[in-house]
Amino acid sequence: MIIEYVKSIPEGYQYKLTLLPLACNLDQSILQNNLKGIPKSGVLSLSFTFRVTKLSANNYQVNLILNSNVYQITELEVSLYYLKGNMIVPKKFIPSPINKSL
């Protein structure tokens, strides 16, 4: 599994995920339901979800949706069954719902 940072989005970050070998042509719902992430760099809590979109045979867009602020650059260990990869997560401050309504 290869994970590449693409860009910052308002609710988090966007990544491109490529499954290897090239024969890994999975339905996006399999990734959506089974992609797991665990913070590696001593972060006590990081609240997030993934939103997956299939781009082509073994390429996917993964949006990391943050539910809380990220106070320091961290790394997520991402797994899908036996496949593993790392996702760098830059610092990000998520506006509170109160601030969004102002």
Q: What CATH number labels 2-101?
A: 2.60.40
pLDDT at residue number 60? 96
Element (H, E) at 29: helix 28-34
pLDDT on residue 69: 80
pLDDT in tens, the chain (102 residues): 999 999 999 889 999 999 988 778 899 999 999 999 988 766 667 788 999 999 998 999 999 998 888 888 888 999 998 889 999 888 887 766 655 555
Q: Which pair of structure tokens corresponds to residue 100?
A: 């969004």
- Contact predicate 13/63, CB 8 Å: yes
Sequence spans of domains, the chain: 2-101
Asked whether 78 and 1 are in contact (CB, 8 A), the reply is: yes
**What is the reported pLDDT for 73?**
84
pTM: 0.84
For tokens 């969004």, the residue is 100
Rounded Cα–Cα distance for residues 27 and 11 (Å): 24
Residue 62 in tokens: 């993964």
